[in-house]
Amino acid sequence: DVKVTQSSRYLVKRTGEKVFLECVQDMDHENMFWYRQDPGLGLRLIYFSYDVKMKEKGDIPEGYSVSREKKERFSLILESASTNQTSMYLCASTGQGKGANVLTFGAGSRLTVL
C-alpha cells in the first residue's frame, strides 16, 4: 500500500524554537506539497516541490521554508516558531502525469506552539 509518512504526529514547541516537520513518500512521486489545515479555512498551500532541490511558494509561505534533498523526502521548517503557527500540517504527493492527479496525504502533524 502506497504511503506518505509524517514522522511526528504531535509536537509541542516553544515560541522561537526551530521546528522540522518531515515527510517521506514511497511512491516515487515527483510532486510534494505542504498544507496547513485550520478550522473553517480548509487547507492552504504553504510550499510545493516539483523536483529534487526545487521549491515553489504556495499561498501562505511567510514564516516557513522547505527542503527537498531527495526525491522521497520533503521537509517543512519553521525557523522561529510563533503561536500563530499552531496548526495541523499535512504533507501530500502526486505523480507528474497530465490529468487529474490525485493527492495522497499523510496523517498529519499537529503542532502546538506555546
Partner 1 sequence: AQSVTQLGSHVSVSEGALVLLRCNYSSSVPPYLFWYVQYPNQGLQLLLKYTSAATLVKGINGFEAEFKKSETSFHLTKPSAHMSDAAEYFCAVSDQGAGNMLTFGGGTRLMVKP
Contacts with partner 1 in 2-21 (CB under 8 A)?
4
Q: DSSP labels for 14-81?
A: -TT--EEEEEEESS--SEEEEEEEETTTEEEEEEEESSTT--EE-S--TT-EEEEEETTEEEEEESS-
- Find the binding residues for partner 1 in span 39-68 (CB under 8 A): 39-45, 48
| Residue number, 4 or 19, with CB nearest to partner 1 | 4
100 in contact with partner 1 (CB under 8 A)? yes
Say how many residues touch partner 1, by CB under 8 A.
23
Q: What nine digits make up the cell of 17?
A: 524554537
Which lies closer to partner 1 via its Cβ, residue 5 or residue 17? Answer: 5
Cα–Cα dist 23/76, whole Å: 8
User: Which of the stretches 13-21, 35-43, 62-70, 71-79 binds partner 1 when contact is defined by CB under 8 A?
Assistant: 35-43
